[in-house]
Amino acid sequence: MDAIFQWGLDFIIMVQQIDTPLLDSFFRAITSLGDELFYLILFPFLLWCVDFYLGIRVGIIFLLSVYLNSGLKEIFQQPRPFDILPEIQKVHAYGYGFPSGHAQSSLVVWGSITYWEKQIWIRNLSLLLILLIGFSRIYLGVHFPTDILGGWLFGGLILGLSYFIILKIKLDFIQKNMIFKIIGITLFPVILLQIQSSPDIISSVAALTGVGYGLLS
């Protein structure tokens, strides 16, 4: 066994020594805050209840993050902890482990929210959620610590690149021109699916495309 995997398993076993039914329930709830379903609820809330542009930007970055995470998993093809030691698994998970999608998405989403919403309490809450979601994946036995660190690393890179590339787009111009909305919402997912089209990618792109078309109304 690779030494890094053995170290990761030892770390998970050490963490799980503190497990209780209450902690199990707590971290299952925390990890659900990193599920795609939660984000699909969060984005409409940001769009209509907080700030339209914020919701659009966070949604675009999240879509790219999900897409790139799936590609990175296919490149690295690293096992999950329970592939080696099944008894440490506490929740369902599938696919390759590195980098962690939950860790990457939480950093991308909450990091981008923090960038525009600069209140101290939002920054503190975002940091807490990023750390707790990452730790929950280790506690629940579905990711090695290195998976989490990798997710944070790639999430940070995506967030930084997105600021210089995507977020410079004049969203007010796009919003006022229906033709640009339709072309963007239709062609962008098609282009992504031409590059790679795993089941995870198809479901994520389809769901977020539906959200995009909802914005046309």
Q: What CA–CA distance (Å, rounded) separates 131 from 152?
A: 10
Q: Which residue has the tokens 């995870």?
A: 200
Q: What CA–CA distance (Å, rounded) separates 108 from 55?
A: 13
Catalytic residue list contains 92: no
User: 66: closest CA among 26, 29, 86, 37?
Assistant: 37
**Which of the residues 73, 90, 102, 137 is marked catalytic?**
102
> CB atoms < 10 A from the CB of 71, how many?
14
Structure tokens at 155: 């999430």
pTM to 2 decimal places: 0.82
pLDDT tens series, the chain, 217 aa: 588 899 999 999 999 999 899 999 999 999 999 998 898 889 888 888 888 878 888 887 888 888 889 889 989 999 999 999 999 999 999 899 999 999 999 999 999 999 877 789 999 999 999 999 999 999 999 999 999 999 999 999 999 888 776 655 555 545 555 555 555 555 555 555 555 556 666 666 665 566 555 555 5
